[in-house]
Amino acid sequence: MSSATVSAIQSRFPNAVKELIEFRGEETLIVDAASAHEILAFCRDELAFDYLTDISSLDNYETAPRWTMVYELYTLANGANHHLRIKYDVEEGEKATSVSDLWPTAIWHEREVYDMMGIEFVGLEDHRRILMWEGYPFFPLRKDFPLAGRPSEMPDVAFTDRAPLEGGPFVTSPTGASTVHREPRSRDME
């Protein structure tokens, strides 16, 4: 990625860029939450990052701030093919700012972040669940969600006991071996 891109962002928002992380040829900017939307708009409008690849979130369980929002941007302008990652922190109980006004595809990403982590977005009109069923009271990608699942008394769903996460079709092997040997695999492969 062009360091000119990072320099342009740092010049335009000198007080909002907290940190630059360079790893394996990728650059990640950690920015102030209050300026994140403005920085993302600048990336789209001025730096031609016209493709929002993904929005995800990290659960910093038992650490403040609780959440980290992650935006993966990409530009194809002038054959550049540049990737940029923007991150900012969100305190538990606060809402992230929607970027659906910048990239309409963000609606789907933000709905997934809400569905799995419970992070709401200011400016997102549609907070319907996208993977879990409507009325599901939990957020399954939070680190405090137990692997055994939680009791569900909801009628008209496939199960009324615990959500079958533990003992499901995939298992991991607790070991000190490399990640290749720790990866989840089908029970049939054991």
Q: How many residues does the chain have?
A: 190
Question: Does residue 148 fall inside a structural domain?
Answer: no
Number of structural domains in the chain: 1
d(CA 154, CA 157): 7
Reported as a single tens digit per residue, the pLDDT across 30-45 is 999 999 999 999 999 9
Reported as a single tens digit per residue, the pLDDT across 38-75 is 999 999 999 999 999 999 999 999 999 999 999 999 99
d(CA 99, CA 111): 12
What pLDDT score does 137 carry? 82
Q: Is the pLDDT of residue 13 over 50?
A: yes
Question: Does residue 176 fall inside a structural domain?
Answer: no
Question: Does residue 99 fall inside a structural domain?
Answer: yes
Question: Does residue 183 fall inside a structural domain?
Answer: no
Domain with 28, as residue range(s), is: 3-103
Name the pTM for this structure: 0.78
Question: Does residue 157 fall inside a structural domain?
Answer: no
What pLDDT score does 176 carry? 67
Q: Is the pLDDT of residue 169 over 60?
A: no
CATH of the domain at 23: 3.30.460.80
What pLDDT score does 146 carry? 79
